[in-house]
Amino acid sequence: MSPFAPIDALLAPAPDPARVGWLTGATYAHRGLHGDGRVENSPSAFAAAIERGLGIECDVQRSRDGQAMVFHDWELDRLTGEAGPLKARDSVALGKLKLSGSGDTIPTLPHLLDQVGGRVPLLIEIKSKREVRYAPLCLAVRRALEGYRGPAAVMSFDPRVVRWFRLNAPHLVRGLVVTEEGHRTLSGRWRRHLSLWRAKPEFLAYDVRDLPSGFAAAQRQRGLPLLTWTVRSAELAERARVHADAAIAEGPGVG
C-alpha cells in the first residue's frame, strides 16, 4: 500500500458510486466527433457524436461579457479568420465568428446543452491559467447548467477550479485532469497528491501517455472513475481499455 493511501482517503474521499457510475458507460468524443470537414468544438462535431451515441468532451472559455463559450484556445487565430484573445470579445460577436473551413460559428455552453438535451453524457473542461481569474467562468458554467437534467460533469487541470465547484456547486460531478509530463519522481508524486487533496475530485481524467500509472491505479482502486485522454489510435484504445474506465478519444481512437 502506498504511504499516501490513508491521507488520500481522509483528504479526498472516494465518491458515491451511484453518483459517478454514469461516467464509465461511454466513449467520449474529444471536442466532439471532428474531422471530415467538421471542426472541433462545433455544433456539427457535436451532432456527429450524438448520432454515433458517443459522449461529448468540450472546452469552455469566458467571453468579455461573462458567457461560457465552447472553444479550446485562448486565441482566436487557429480556428477562426480572426486574431486576438477570445476574452476580448463579447458573446454576441463571438457567436457570429465562423469556424475556419465550416459554416459553424462558436457556440455558447447553453446552446450546446440545448443541442445535446441529455441524450449523451457531457464532460465540460474549464480552461484556466494562473494569471486569469477562474471564478467568473466557473460561475458562468454553473449558471448554464442550472436546470439541465442530462448527465454532465465539469473538470479542469486546475485544482482551484475543481475546489470551486465542490464549494459552490456540490450537486455537479467534478473531476481533475492530470498529466504527469514524465515527472515520476517523489516530488512529482507529492505534487499530484497535493492537487488531489486540494481539489477533492470525484473522478480523474488522465493523460493516456502516462498509463499505466501507480498514482492513477491507486485512485481508481479506491473508487474514483478513471477516464483517459486523448486516445488517438487503436493501440492507445487498447491501453485505455486495460488501464482506465472510459476513453476520451478522437480519430482512429474512437473505433
Q: What is the pLDDT of residue 34?
A: 98
Of 127, 126, 128, 94, nearest in space to 111 by CA: 94
Contact 95, 105 (CB under 8 A): yes
Q: What is the pLDDT of residue 7?
A: 96
Q: Give the mean pLDDT of 154-164.
A: 98
The grid coordinates of residue 139 equal: 460561475
Domain boundaries, the chain: 5-254
pLDDT tens for residues 32-49?
999 999 999 999 999 999
Contact 109, 74 (CB under 8 A): no
Q: Using 50, 70 and 90 to split pLDDT, how confident is the model at 128?
A: very high
Residue 87 burial (10 A CB sphere; 0-12, 13-18, 19+): middle
Q: What is the pLDDT of residue 1?
A: 67
Q: Give the mean pLDDT of 224-240.
A: 98
Q: Give the mean pLDDT of 227-246.
A: 98
5-254 falls under which CATH superfamily? Answer: Phosphatidylinositol (PI) phosphodiesterase (3.20.20.190)
Q: Using 50, 70 and 90 to split pLDDT, how confident is the model at 27?
A: very high
Strands, E assignment, 127-243: 152-156, 173-178, 203-207, 226-231
Q: How high does pLDDT run on average in the chain? A: 97
pLDDT tens for residues 160-192?
999 999 999 999 999 999 999 866 788 889 999
Q: What is the pLDDT of residue 51?
A: 98
Q: Give the mean pLDDT of 121-131.
A: 96
pLDDT tens for residues 50-101?
999 999 999 999 999 999 999 999 999 999 999 999 999 999 999 999 999 9
Q: Give the mean pLDDT of 199-221.
A: 97
